[in-house]
A and B are shown apart, each in its own frame.
Chain A
Amino acid sequence: DQQVKQNSPSLSVQEGRISILNCDYTNSMFDYFLWYKKYPAEGPTFLISISSIKDKNEDGRFTVFLNKSAKHLSLHIVPSQPGDSAVYFCAASRGAGNTPLVFGKGTRLSVIA
């Protein structure tokens, strides 16, 4: 049973436009959410996170929105750049650092120049 779902395997966006990546979760015990970015042949790198007590967190071009009632979060990238082309993973946590993150299957973002 998939607790974290990224329903779009891929997304193509024009350079300069907004990219919106979506993530849904089923476990209401999750209290912290993270986005990771992964280039081919590299390990994932942390991008941005949000606590369940917030509904928005912003870091430069990246904003994450959390809708707890809908169990939905989204990552907005504005403006999108060709270097943003990568696979993005949504992850959720339900405890302290020794509780494994639960990852979605990822969304491949292609930003077209």
Chain B
Amino acid sequence: DVKVTQSSRYLVKRTGEKVFLECVQDMDHENMFWYRQDPGLGLRLIYFSYDVKMKEKGDIPEGYSVSREKKERFSLILESASTNQTSMYLCASSSDGDSHRGYEQYFGPGTRLTVT
């Protein structure tokens, strides 16, 4: 069974703080993703990584950075948290491969971040 874990389920931070969200997957997946989910806006891609030390911007990268030093771990960093970054953050992973199973992304439980 694929397992994607996220370091916190709920987090409350103050404006201006640096925030780290950690994600770990145990299936040796090559690809990892960070999304945020907001009501009425669906899932929006922040950053993704298809290999260690590689990263690509998604649709809304502003105000965020990422780090992938090990294959199983993908971190999302909010350099200076702002109230408009209050959201549900979701991490996902997927494998490469030529089978359609490789297209499926597996999600973690999410981190509900509140910035006050």
Contacts and interface: CB of A to CB of B under 8 A. Distances in A.
Interface string A37-50: 00001111110010
A9 B30 CA distance: 33
Contacts of A9: 40
Contacts of B4: 43
Most chain B beta-carbon neighbours within 10 Å: one of A32, A34, A93, A96: A96
Interface residues of A, number: 24
B102 A96 contact: yes
Interface string A89-109: 100010011101101111000
A33 to B, nearest CB: 9
A98 B31 contact: yes
B94 A46 contact: no
Contacts of B30: 97-98
A100 B42 contact: no
Interface residues of B, number: 32
B2 to A, nearest CB: 10
A32 B94 CA distance: 14
Interface in A28-70: 32, 34, 36, 41-46, 49, 51
B37 to A, nearest CB: 8
Contacts of A96: 96-98, 102-103
Interface of B: 4, 9, 30-31, 33, 35, 40-43, 45, 48, 50, 58, 90, 92, 94-98, 100, 102-110, 112
Given A43-B110, A97-B94, A97-B97, 5 more contacts: A34-B104, A89-B42, A96-B96, A97-B30, A98-B94
Interface of A: 6, 9, 32, 34, 36, 41-46, 49, 51, 89, 93, 96-98, 100-101, 103-106
